[in-house]
Amino acid sequence: MRCAYCHNPQLVLGKKKRLDWKKIRQFLKERQNLLDGVVLSGGECTLTPDLPDFIKNLRKMGYKIKLDTNGLRPDVLDILLSNRQLDYVALDYKAPRNKFQRITGRSQFDTFRRSLEMLCAQDIPFEVRTTVHTGLMDESDVKAIMADLEQLNFRGNYYIQNFQPAPSTLQPLPEQLRKLDVQALPTPKAFAVQLRNF
């Protein structure tokens, strides 16, 4: 994806050096029984070809696994869920269908939604989160996302995150002139809405 507000442009553009598995393994070996789990994030970690094997190794070391994903690799997510390799998932719901390409630079809303549907049909705990820059999305967009979550019987926490300025984002952004009016949002019955940085 190419979300303008991304705080990890070096990862997205491939400008960060890849870490060596041997070094990661040694680091985590030294911390067995001190750390409980590992968060796999990105960029988009499901683009890593050997991710299932990497996770198997982490689980053999006794670590729980949390996956942060944008949902554009439902094929990988299906493998990880089918093999019970994940303990928790955080799924970014970037924008409703009508703004998905504008926000992400990708036209794969249906691909993302397959991942969301898959997670809603599983018993694994997961959260959904949306970052909002009001120069890009407004209350009606967040309401559309919430309606979609209700339609799929989502039961976890939905985090609405106010955009936080960073020294470096993927693309220049207009100044955010206002925060989202969270009072204008509905209160869903099936899932909890949590606010961050409001």
**Residue-level pLDDT at 16:** 65
Domain coordinates in residue numbering, the chain = 9-196
Domain 9-196 -> CATH class: alpha beta
* Look-up of token digits 């750390």: 35
User: E strands of the chain, at which residues?
Assistant: 37-40, 64-69, 88-92, 126-132, 157-162, 192-196
89 has a pLDDT exceeding 90: yes
Q: Assess contact for 74 and 66: CB atoms under 8 A.
A: no
Average pLDDT over the chain, rounded to an integer? 91
**Bridge-based pairing state of the strands 37-40 and 157-162:** unpaired
Phi first, then psi: give them for residue 141, nearest 5 degrees.
-70, -45
Element (H, E) at 120: helix 109-120
pLDDT in tens, 140-161: 999 999 999 999 999 999 999 9
pLDDT in tens, 95-145: 999 999 999 999 999 999 999 999 999 999 999 999 999 999 999 999 999
The better pLDDT of the pair 2, 133 is held by: 133
**Residue-level pLDDT at 12:** 64
Dist. CA 188–CA 192, nearest whole Å? 7
